[in-house]
Amino acid sequence: MKLEFHPPDSGGVSSNSPQNNFNEITQDSFIMEKKESYRQHLPHFQQAGQAYFVTWCLKDAVPPKALENYSIQLKQLHSQIDFLKNNKAEEKAIRELRIEFSKVRKKYMKAFDDLLHLQTKFTINLSKEENTRIVLEALCFWDKKRIENYAICVMPNHVHWVFRTFEKDEEGKPVYLQDILQSVKRFSANQLNNSEHTKGTVWQRESYDTTIRDDLHLYNAINYTLDNPVVAGLVQNWWEWKGTMFFPDR
């Protein structure tokens, strides 16, 4: 899938492309038990071969209870949808609940993003050159192996990532979102702790993932990701931000 975002003299891609120099066995050791859906504070849906727009942040980026009301609403709607599906309710009723779920989730993500941009002090600053490199390398490790990257943005306290999982990995097993996220987050957390001479949790456990519905949704997700540093007032043009990567020929 090809989308055109060509800044002057850049060829459409940030110049800071990391090399995949990880030890594959080390990162692969963080793979979790596979399942079609799972739940932490929010319900998550996943399917092998699916494209996603994913956001996650540092552990101290958003106060734990700041978005609690939205989380409760989403859990309740998810439970209602499951109940109707299990009892073979009319598709119209299920569709209406899904629309409401989508609306609440959009409000949740807007509030979440606003809180991220308000933070000015960080336990770990991801925009520090070495830290940016660590996260970008982690996000690119599975590219062309188990996923296909579309766009990445490493902000000072959070990450936006648009990519597609392959249907099967090199061993013929399904590739699930939670496996990729667990691998990337745990590996990068270890590397960031080493770089910063710190210990303990780096990332919030929760990640905020949205299933890409169609080409327009994909375009909007990529545009949102690339434009995030501009919206935050960090740069004037997206390609000036060193934590941004775009893969235009996919």
Q: What percent of the chain is modeled with pLDDT above 70? A: 78
pLDDT value at 208 more than 50: yes
The pLDDT value recorded for residue 168 is 92
Quote the Cα angle for 62-63-64, to 5°: 110
The pLDDT value recorded for residue 30 is 36
Give the torsion sign (CA, 9, 13, 14, 16).
Answer: negative
Answer yes or no: do 185 and 92 share one domain: no
Answer yes or no: do 159 and 213 share one domain: yes
The pLDDT value recorded for residue 225 is 96
Q: By three-state DSSP, how is residue 80 classified? A: helix
| Secondary structure (DSSP) of 204-244 | -S--EEEE--SHHHHHHHHHHHHHHHHHTTS-SSGGG-TTE
Closest Cα to residue 152, out of 18, 9, 6?
18
236/241 Cα distance (integer angstroms)? 9
Q: pLDDT tens digits for 113-157? A: 777 777 677 789 999 999 999 999 999 999 999 999 999 999 999
Q: Give the number of domains in the chain.
A: 2
Run of H or E including 148: strand 147-154
Answer yes or no: do 15 and 111 share one domain: no
Answer yes or no: do 54 and 81 share one domain: no
Closest Cα to residue 55, out of 105, 90, 94, 13?
105
The pLDDT value recorded for residue 46 is 56
The pLDDT value recorded for residue 45 is 52
Answer yes or no: do 108 and 29 share one domain: no
202/185 Cα distance (integer angstroms)? 9
Cα 239 versus chain centre, distance: 19
Q: pLDDT tens digits for 40-89? A: 444 445 577 899 999 999 987 776 677 677 678 878 888 888 889 888 88
The pLDDT value recorded for residue 63 is 66
Q: Are 165 and 50 in contact (CB under 8 A)?
A: yes
pLDDT value at 29 more than 50: no
pLDDT value at 5 more than 60: no
Please tell me the least confidently modeled range out of 18-27, 76-85, 188-197.
18-27
178/156 Cα distance (integer angstroms)? 23
135/188 Cα distance (integer angstroms)? 6
- Across the chain, what does the average pLDDT equal? 80
pLDDT value at 15 more than 70: no
Q: How many CA atoms lie within 13 A of 16 on its CB side?
A: 20
Answer yes or no: do 152 and 212 share one domain: yes
What one-letter code names the amino acid at 161?
W
**Residue 13 DSSP label:** S
pLDDT value at 242 more than 50: yes
Answer yes or no: do 57 and 139 share one domain: yes
The pLDDT value recorded for residue 119 is 65
The whole domain housing 19 covers: 1-61+125-250
The pLDDT value recorded for residue 56 is 92
What one-letter code names the amino acid at 71?
S
Answer yes or no: do 3 and 77 share one domain: no
Q: Are 43 and 111 in contact (CB under 8 A)?
A: no
CATH of the domain at 237: 3.30.70.1290
pLDDT value at 19 more than 70: no
pLDDT value at 21 more than 50: no
Cα 74 versus chain centre, distance: 19
